[in-house]
């Protein structure tokens, strides 16, 4: 079956603009995660959705970051007023309930 | 909080060499431990896992043993191939959903 799909694969934006990143999880996976991977660094947890429960937003670095998920389907991660330090690969992952996670190929965001 | 420390890279070695990537962790409770691999141009994928002390995870010739006494989960492979060139991430989970990752170790295997 299809894996986790993320779009776009690459995004270049100007500082101050808003961007929206999309994630299509594996069908039937109730859990969805967003991580950020800065160059040369490990993965930083951003946000976690599980079914209709309240999301765990503890990893969002600032109020410029937000994410939504409708039910058990698509999720969008929005970054408002982008800054250069937001440049990173944004990874989405899904799982049935708990780890192991299945990752998408990521969206490489470059803020100029 | 929970954290993972893994051997810094990059690591370069020849085909058929022995590979070890060290990973130690700090966690409350009893974490599950994972190794993920990211091949060039691909997404992260689970390589192996262990859920309790003394468990050994294995896959594709790689092995790692959950050592509670040393809080370690070192990854080993006895004879690497060029196709093993990738970035390897150690990770843990203590609350059944959130994974904490190490910084990753880049491995390059030369023919």
Residue B44: list chain A partners with CB under 8 A: 91, 93, 101, 103
Quick: pLDDT tens for B78-87. 999 999 999 9
Predicted pLDDT at B96: 67
Q: For B43-54, what is the mean pLDDT?
A: 92
Quick: pLDDT tens for A32-76. 999 999 887 788 999 999 988 899 999 999 999 999 998 778 999
Tell me the pLDDT of chain B averaged across its residues. Answer: 93
Contact assessment for residue A21 and residue A76, using Cβ atoms and an 8 Å cutoff? yes
Q: How confident is the model at residue B26 (pLDDT cuts 50, 70, 90)?
A: very high
- State how far the Cα of A82 lies from the Cα of A13, in Å rounded to an integer: 8
Predicted pLDDT at B32: 93
The residue ranking higher by pLDDT, B29 or B58, is: B58
Residues paired with A21 in a beta bridge: A77
- Is A51 in a helix, a strand, or coil? coil
The residue ranking higher by pLDDT, B94 or B77, is: B77
Identify the DSSP state of A81: S
How close B9 gets to chain A, by Cα (Å)? Answer: 10
CA dist B9 to B51, B105, B110, Å?
A: 26, 5, 15
Predicted pLDDT at A70: 84
Count, in order, helices (H) and strands (E) of chain B: 0, 12
Tell me the pLDDT of chain A averaged across its residues. Answer: 92
- State how far the Cα of B3 lies from the Cα of B23, in Å rounded to an integer: 11
Predicted pLDDT at A76: 97
Chain B, window 20-79: residues with a beta carbon less than 8 angstroms from a chain A beta carbon? 32, 34, 36, 41-46, 49
- State how far the Cα of A12 lies from the Cα of A34, in Å rounded to an integer: 19
Predicted pLDDT at A45: 92
Predicted pLDDT at B94: 85
Contact assessment for residue A106 and residue A4, using Cβ atoms and an 8 Å cutoff? no
- State how far the Cα of A96 lies from the Cα of A28, in Å rounded to an integer: 7
Residue B9: list chain A partners with CB under 8 A: none
What tokens appear for A83 in the block?
A: 């800054």
Predicted pLDDT at A1: 52
């Amino acid at each position: 079956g299809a894996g986790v799909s993320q779009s776009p694969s690459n995004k270049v934006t100007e500082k101050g603009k808003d961007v929206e990143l999309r994630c299509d999880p594996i069908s039937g996976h109730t859990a969805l995660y967003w991580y950020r991977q800065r160059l040369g660094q490990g993965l930083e947890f951003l946000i976690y959705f599980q079914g209709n429960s309240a999301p765990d937003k503890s990893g969002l670095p600032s109020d410029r970051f937000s994410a939504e998920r409708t039910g058990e389907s698509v999720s969008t991660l929005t970054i408002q007023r982008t800054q250069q330090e937001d440049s990173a690969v944004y990874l989405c992952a899904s799982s049935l309930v708990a780890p192991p996670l299945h990752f998408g190929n990521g969206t490489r965001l470059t803020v100029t | 909080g929970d954290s993972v420390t893994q051997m810094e890279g990059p690591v370069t070695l020849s085909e058929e060499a022995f590979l070890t990537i060290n990973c130690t962790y700090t966690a409350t409770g009893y974490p599950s431990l994972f190794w993920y691999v990211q091949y060039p141009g691909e997404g992260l994928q689970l390589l192996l896992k262990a859920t309790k002390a003394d468990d050994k995870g294995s896959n594709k010739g790689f092995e790692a043993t959950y050592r509670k006494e040393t809080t370690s989960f070192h990854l080993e492979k006895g004879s690497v191939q060029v196709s093993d060139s990738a970035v390897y991430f150690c990770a843990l989970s203590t609350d059944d959903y959130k994974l904490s990752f190490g910084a990753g170790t880049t491995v390059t295997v030369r023919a």
